[in-house]
Amino acid sequence: MNPKERARLVDALGSAIADGGQSLGQVPQILRKLLEEDAWKDFETQMGKHITYTRFEDFVTTPPLAGLGTTVDLIKDIVSKDIEAQKLLAKALRHPRGTNRFTIDSTVGAIYQKKDNDEPNQLALPEEKQEKKQERYGQRILRLEKKAPELYAQVLAGEKTVYAAAIEAEIDHPTMTVTLDSPKSAASLIAKASPVFIEELKRLLNDIKEAL
């Protein structure tokens, strides 16, 4: 598939998303083809502009004709019933180690650039949190598919969130945010904590009490 053929695939996907309605039914099939061919990574627009990407999120959010001009969350919703499209999408959202986390747009210029194997960059762009969220989503759903196919199917059917399924499959550990000077937070912590956590907490509190 040459750059112009890849661009036609990009245009078809963008048009189906933009048109909405019945056209959205075409999105999973077009998306599967686009991801299978990696057509989003390198194509030539109708205006003759050569476009390249290293991150799928950047391709999705960039306005047409250089991108889709939408959000990753919307695409996830549209293909939520298509298992193959979900699998390909999850893989596309993964960030291989050593690849650029922030794509440089030659028409705008980049302020900062960071690699996954670099030291943490204190001047990282605000979008980093969202990028990490997308990366975790991709990792979780791929691990769910391998480790817990039944839970994976429930996620695709909209019966469970990826996070809840990952907890149930013991891929992730449950977490919560607490306010350290709030009695309500202490009560919530005890209510949600596992028996093992509570036993260890009791032991530590007893050690503190004896030390006093």
Predicted confidence (pLDDT) per residue in 154-209, tens digit: 776 667 777 788 888 888 877 777 787 888 888 888 887 878 888 888 888 888 88
User: 39: which DSSP letter?
Assistant: G
Q: Tell whether 184 and 212 lie within a shared domain.
A: yes
Instruction: Give me the chain's average pLDDT, please.
Output: 78
Q: Is 103 or 189 the better-scoring residue by pLDDT?
A: 189
Q: Is residue 111 part of a domain?
A: no
Distances (CA, A) of 200 to 180, 191, 203, 206: 18, 15, 5, 10
Q: Is residue 190 part of a domain?
A: yes
Mean pLDDT value of segment 42-51? 90
Mean pLDDT value of segment 38-52? 91
Q: Is residue 47 part of a domain?
A: no
Hey, is 149 helix, strand or coil?
Answer: helix
Q: Is residue 65 part of a domain?
A: no
pLDDT for res 211? 81
Q: What are the strands, taking DSSP E only, across the chain?
A: 42-44, 50-52
pLDDT for res 89? 92
Q: Tell whether 191 and 166 lie within a shared domain.
A: no
Q: Is residue 86 part of a domain?
A: no
Q: For residue 157, give its domain range.
A: 136-174
Is the model's pLDDT at 140 over the cut of 90? no
The pLDDT confidence band at residue 9, using thresholds 50, 70 and 90, is: very high
Whole-number Å distance between alpha carbons of 87 and 181: 43
Nearest Cα residue to 117 out of 97, 139, 96, 103: 97
Q: Tell whether 150 and 167 lie within a shared domain.
A: yes
**Helices within 71-158 (DSSP H only):** 72-78, 83-92, 128-147, 149-156
Q: How large a percentage of the chain has pLDDT more than 90?
A: 25
pLDDT for res 107? 35
Q: Tell whether 190 and 204 lie within a shared domain.
A: yes
Q: Is residue 63 part of a domain?
A: no
Q: Based on the structure, what is the number of domains in the chain? A: 2
Mean pLDDT value of segment 105-115? 34
pLDDT for res 81? 85
Q: Is residue 123 part of a domain?
A: no
Q: Is residue 169 part of a domain?
A: yes
Query: pLDDT tens digits for 75-94?
Result: 998 998 888 899 899 989 87
pLDDT for res 40? 96
